[in-house]
Amino acid sequence: MKNEKQIRLGIIGIGNMGSEHCRLILGGKCPEVRLAAVADRRPERRAWARETLPEDTKVYGDGLELICGGDCDAVLIAVPHYQHAPMAAAALEAGLHVLCEKPAAVQAGRAEEMIRASEKAGKTLTFMFNQRTNCVYRAMKELLESGRMGALKRMNWIVTDWYRTQRYYDSGSWRATWAGEGGGVLLNQCPHQLDLLIWLCGMPCAVTTKYSEGKWHHIEVEDDVSALLEFPGGATGVFVASTGDLPGTNRLEIDCERGKLVCEDGRVKVWRLKENEREVCFTSEDPWYRGEPEMTELETDGENPQHVGVINAFAAHLLRGEKLIAEAKDGLRELELSNAIHLSGWTGERQEIPVSREAFDRELEKRIAGSKTRNVADVTYETNHG
Amino acid sequence: MKNEKQIRLGIIGIGNMGSEHCRLILGGKCPEVRLAAVADRRPERRAWARETLPEDTKVYGDGLELICGGDCDAVLIAVPHYQHAPMAAAALEAGLHVLCEKPAAVQAGRAEEMIRASEKAGKTLTFMFNQRTNCVYRAMKELLESGRMGALKRMNWIVTDWYRTQRYYDSGSWRATWAGEGGGVLLNQCPHQLDLLIWLCGMPCAVTTKYSEGKWHHIEVEDDVSALLEFPGGATGVFVASTGDLPGTNRLEIDCERGKLVCEDGRVKVWRLKENEREVCFTSEDPWYRGEPEMTELETDGENPQHVGVINAFAAHLLRGEKLIAEAKDGLRELELSNAIHLSGWTGERQEIPVSREAFDRELEKRIAGSKTRNVADVTYETNHG
């Protein structure tokens, strides 16, 4: 690296998310990152970059040009989903490290190619799973990993607080189309929750989905999903997601052998049993044993650095070998689960995980073949919404 | 009726529930009911009755003897599930009115026979859906029926607070066996919730179940159920029940076009939108419209008369034609849903409701054929647990 104290970062795609990342870095929140270059195919975004960004930030008309420009040690990829895999592979092959927006790709097969490119190049690949930096999820992860709650028995996540009006979908010609975005609430809104689900509870081994496309909006892709999950140890789960519920709910319950955790409204309530339920069930003489576990609120450190946390960890990893927020394989696993929920919804059948990549790709191709670009003007929102 | 101010009630089966009903009536909580007779096949229970009940309460060794005894206008049937249908039919044919414990029967076909017997005899048939008397469910029913919440979009009921230890199942040789009880958490614990679900949200038209028998206990029948529900109007639902979660959860969320209701910990929170989401979705210019609905706690009358409420309504219906807590068809509908969840769990396939009665009965018969009586001493608990 030119400057041992900073990585030179290029941001490819400066739409909603990419422009927000620029602002974070320029706002001084990422002291180990220098914004070396940006790239976007749209002239109006490049004009914005030239007006807004420092003079020494190079502005490219295409991600591949940026990759070949030699100004960067690493890139942050914030282009539409289908371009994640080819853009990441190009960057890795050019010797750059890659931080890629979620989801890793649309098809798990493409995410696997990204990982292979990373391994071949010996360069870092990671994903923007910024919700992992939220103190409530970190505290839950720590408690679950400590073993104090015992093994998982059940989980239930209602994540229906992703409400979007039709206007949201009408803001981009590619939005909510099979050809342009590759999926709906599973691909755009829920990669964070699916990643957290795997991070906290482990990878499910099967899924049965009740699924609807364009149920609440005039869109091609899914906006309502209910999934029954099965875990290798016998635990079960429920995952419900929608962009059509108002007001929605975001409530995650995790039931273990020694109690339960409920995360809602930014707080985690914990009920801890004195004994392991799996033992007390067979030793108690009380038919209606209750154990009367005390409920406490899980303490957290209050920190929730989100995108800044992921970018800073990426820089610290490259500069000093510190731990990433998520590894490359985590991006693949999230997509394995997402693809399985989709395929179960499409086929109406229970699917074991991982699903056949050929079967998923074939079903997706059918939908892409019938996909229509939305006849609307593209809008870039200056917000950090997904 | 001999005394125009009281019905003469016979209680058939004075085990856990029946003996509790005796206590309620003798405790003066049912002024329009006179406990005219009881029946039980077990000598120790009859001994208890002779010691405990008033001298003018007749004690029979069998329900059919009580029915033929001429002491009663009506009977309350609290015998094991499989005996509900034949006992009710016998009582109705003998000209008695019938209040039957839940579930109506094990097979929906038997519940239908009970209804036919009631219609033929011109006598009242009703079921012990005492949870309908709970003020929180009554207040929810009133609000939903008023139309102020708009149409149903989604429901989610986690009812895992039915924890039972192995000791509970070891308290009866018939318990949790296919031949003796006919089912587990769906048949014994959850008829109330399944009835309330239908009462509040309407009858689902299809179900897909993830289902386990003897998962948490050494029993033949199911103790863990997760079901995806579909409603005729397109709404979806999740129903999760277990006797193996400690501490469990009892949380019912109902999402409608104009807001949502969440019932937990004996309280109902209501979020009301000013507009109908189905309209605002297509008229708002805000992609991330939130509507900021106010949350209020649903007011109730605080009354929760439970079994007393059902018994008193039954008496008031017979004496003065007042409204019952539940009609005969409600017992059938609850069992239609319960049977469908079972059949989906057994077959691993989505089932449309109503399911084929032949298919359900055939699958149940297979399980009865392999059923084993539990080699344990029978215990009668003096509690009002289910």
pLDDT tens column, B275-330: 999 999 999 999 999 998 989 999 999 999 999 999 999 999 999 999 999 999 99
- Residues of A within 8 A of B276 (CB-CB) are none
* Angle at CA of residue A116, ends A310 and A315, nearest 5°: 25
Residues A53-64 have a mean pLDDT of: 97
Q: Smallest Cβ distance to A165: which of B208, B289, B350?
A: B289
Alpha-carbon gap, residue A334 to B349, rounded angstroms: 27
The nearest alpha carbon in chain A to B277 belongs to A246
**Complex ipTM:** 0.95
Q: Smallest Cβ distance to B168: which of A160, A210, A288?
A: A288
Q: Is the pLDDT of residue B383 over 60?
A: no
CA-CA-CA-CA torsion sign (B48, B51, B57, B59): positive
Alpha-carbon gap, residue B130 to B309, rounded angstroms: 7
For residue B93, give the nearest of B67, B72, B127 by alpha carbon.
B67
What kind and span of H or E run contains B236? strand B236-242
Identify the pLDDT of residue A381: 60
Identify the pLDDT of residue B298: 98
Alpha-carbon gap, residue A297 to A324, rounded angstroms: 28
Q: Is the pLDDT of residue A1 over 70?
A: no
The nearest alpha carbon in chain B to A158 belongs to B156
For chain A, what is the largest distance between any 2 Cα atoms, rounded to a whole number of angstroms?
A: 76
Residue to substitute from A281, A374, A380, interface B, most B β-carbons within 10 A: A281
Identify the pLDDT of residue A118: 98
Alpha-carbon gap, residue B114 to B134, rounded angstroms: 26
- Residues of A within 8 A of B255 (CB-CB) are 160, 245, 249
Q: Smallest Cβ distance to B247: which of A166, A208, A260?
A: A260
- Residues of A within 8 A of B347 (CB-CB) are none
Question: Which residue do the tokens 């996540």 mark?
Answer: A157
Shortest CA gap B2–chain A (Å): 42
What kind and span of H or E run contains A16? helix A16-26
Partnered with residue A34 across adjacent β-strands are A8
Average pLDDT, chain A: 95
Shortest CA gap B279–chain A (Å): 10
Q: What are the backbone dihedrals phi and psi of residue A251, each rounded to the nearest 5 degrees, phi first?
A: -135, 120
The nearest alpha carbon in chain B to A162 belongs to B288
Shortest CA gap B343–chain A (Å): 16
Q: Do B243 and B186 meet the contact criterion of CB atoms below 8 Å apart?
A: no
Identify the pLDDT of residue A376: 75
Residues B41-63 have a mean pLDDT of: 97
Residue A172 — very low, low, confident or very high, per pLDDT cuts 50/70/90? Answer: confident
Shortest CA gap B216–chain A (Å): 8
- Residues of B within 8 A of A208 (CB-CB) are 208, 210, 228
- Residues of A within 8 A of B228 (CB-CB) are 208, 210, 226, 228
For residue A91, give the nearest of A61, A63, A59 by alpha carbon.
A63
- Residues of A within 8 A of B163 (CB-CB) are 288-290
3-state secondary structure of A236: strand
Alpha-carbon gap, residue B96 to B89, rounded angstroms: 10
3-state secondary structure of A19: helix
Q: Which two tokens stand for residue A262?
A: 């409920």
- Residues of B within 8 A of A350 (CB-CB) are 348
Q: Do A140 and A298 meet the contact criterion of CB atoms below 8 Å apart?
A: yes
Shortest CA gap A166–chain B (Å): 5
Identify the pLDDT of residue B375: 75
pLDDT tens column, B166-182: 999 998 888 999 999 99
Partnered with residue B200 across adjacent β-strands are none
Identify the pLDDT of residue B3: 56
The nearest alpha carbon in chain B to A240 belongs to B238
Judged by CB atoms closer than 8 Å, whether chains meet at B249 and A253 is answered as: yes
Question: Which residues lie closer than 8 Å to A231 by C-beta, 6 or more apart?
Answer: A152, A201, A202, A203, A204, A205, A237
The nearest alpha carbon in chain B to A281 belongs to B165
Q: Which two tokens stand for residue B268?
A: 């109902």
Shortest CA gap B135–chain A (Å): 24
pLDDT tens column, A2-45: 457 999 999 999 998 999 999 999 999 999 999 999 999 999 99
For residue B350, give the nearest of A183, A211, A157 by alpha carbon.
A211
Alpha-carbon gap, residue B290 to B16, rounded angstroms: 50
Residue to substitute from B250, B269, B281, interface A, most A β-carbons within 10 A: B281
Judged by CB atoms closer than 8 Å, whether chains meet at A158 and B260 is answered as: no
- Residues of A within 8 A of B289 (CB-CB) are 163, 165, 246
Judged by CB atoms closer than 8 Å, whether chains meet at B287 and A164 is answered as: yes
What kind and span of H or E run contains B158? strand B152-159
Q: Is the pLDDT of residue B344 over 60?
A: yes
3-state secondary structure of A362: helix
Residue B380 to residues A262, B170, B384: CA-CA distances in angstroms? Answer: 36, 11, 11
Q: Which two tokens stand for residue B19?
A: 């003996």
Residue A385 — very low, low, confident or very high, per pLDDT cuts 50/70/90? Answer: very low
Judged by CB atoms closer than 8 Å, whether chains meet at A226 and B228 is answered as: yes
Q: Do A249 and B223 meet the contact criterion of CB atoms below 8 Å apart?
A: no
Residue A375 — very low, low, confident or very high, per pLDDT cuts 50/70/90? Answer: confident
- Residues of B within 8 A of A277 (CB-CB) are 244, 246
Judged by CB atoms closer than 8 Å, whether chains meet at B228 and A230 is answered as: no
Q: Is the pLDDT of residue A249 over 60?
A: yes
- Residues of B within 8 A of A158 (CB-CB) are 156, 253
Centroid of chain to Cα B174: 20
Question: Which residues lie closer than 8 Å to A369 by C-beta, 6 or more apart?
Answer: none
Judged by CB atoms closer than 8 Å, whether chains meet at A163 and B289 is answered as: yes
- Residues of A within 8 A of B377 (CB-CB) are none
Question: Which residues lie closer than 8 Å to A235 by C-beta, 6 or more apart?
Answer: A151, A152, A153, A154, A155, A201
Judged by CB atoms closer than 8 Å, whether chains meet at A242 and B154 is answered as: yes
Q: Do A346 and A118 meet the contact criterion of CB atoms below 8 Å apart?
A: no
Identify the pLDDT of residue B258: 97
Alpha-carbon gap, residue A156 to B226, rounded angstroms: 10
Q: Give the end-to-end CA distance of chain B in Å, rounded to a whole number.
A: 32
pLDDT tens column, B248-261: 999 999 999 999 99
Identify the pLDDT of residue A110: 98
Alpha-carbon gap, residue B177 to B169, rounded angstroms: 9
The nearest alpha carbon in chain A to B288 belongs to A164
Q: Smallest Cβ distance to B165: which of A164, A247, A281?
A: A281
Alpha-carbon gap, residue A10 to A38, rounded angstroms: 5
The nearest alpha carbon in chain A to B246 belongs to A259
Alpha-carbon gap, residue B91 to B81, rounded angstroms: 16
Residues A378-382 have a mean pLDDT of: 63
Q: Which two tokens stand for residue B95?
A: 């000209």
